[in-house]
Chains A and B, each alone.
Chain A
């Protein structure tokens, strides 16, 4: 079946450091890929998405590229801020099927 694997957290960084959160997936066909962010005490918000191979999703300085050859959708940001501290979820959706989530990666950014 479809599945998403994310790197274990927490990821601890200093402000202005470079961020990578790894995400790989298993799916038949060509799923759409998503990154969601959950700030403390809040629901999940869509951060970015990509719907076909080689697409790059971007938002708020975050980027992720849909790599079909490596079945990956790694999240990157060039310079993190304290306000980026949150839990990040990678997810995929194929056809009319449900959104399948990874287990989430907690990011902690210190001043």
Chain B
């Protein structure tokens, strides 16, 4: 089944403790992206990657890191999480052509206390 798999689904952590949210897709998509979803603010792009070893900042990159060492994986790293990073996170992938929409993962609900 074609899908984007995120882990974990739920995570509660403490301020400053490094964490990684994993994302993997099995559709051979070139394009991958991370979004956060917050009430009243909609979906905001954090980082994206056009292909292996090619990443760039989205609209709200501060406090996050990503890497794209393999085509299928695009982990999101929070080196020192803070409470304002409490949010619902989605990974998405796509072919690069504009006719294609994104395939989304099921989301990771992160709480930083």
Binding site for B on A (CB under 8 A): 31-32, 34, 36, 42-46, 49, 51, 89, 91, 93-99, 101-104
Contact = CB atoms under 8 A, between A and B. Distances in A.
* 3 A-B pairs with the lowest CB-CB distances in the bound complex, closest first: A43-B104, A103-B42, A44-B104
A93 B43 CA distance: 14
Contact of A32 (B40, B99, B105, B106): B99
Interface of B: 33, 40-43, 45, 48, 50, 58, 90, 92, 94, 96-107
A36 B94 CA distance: 14
Contacts of B99: 32, 49, 51
Interface of B is mostly: loop
Contact of A49 (B48, B101, B104): B101
Contacts of A103: 40-42
Contact of A91 (B40, B58, B101, B107): B101
Contact of B58 (A51, A93, A98, A101): A98
A94 B102 CA distance: 13
B95 to A, nearest CB: 10
A43 B90 contact: yes
26 contacts: A32-B100, A32-B101, A34-B101, A36-B101, A36-B104, A42-B106, A42-B107, A43-B90, A43-B104, A43-B106, A44-B90, A45-B104, A46-B102, A49-B99, A49-B101, A51-B99, A89-B42, A93-B101, A97-B98, A98-B45, A98-B58, A99-B33, A99-B92, A99-B101, A101-B43, A103-B41
A98 B33 contact: yes
Nearest to A91: B101
B42 A94 contact: no
A95 B94 CA distance: 13
A99 B32 CA distance: 11
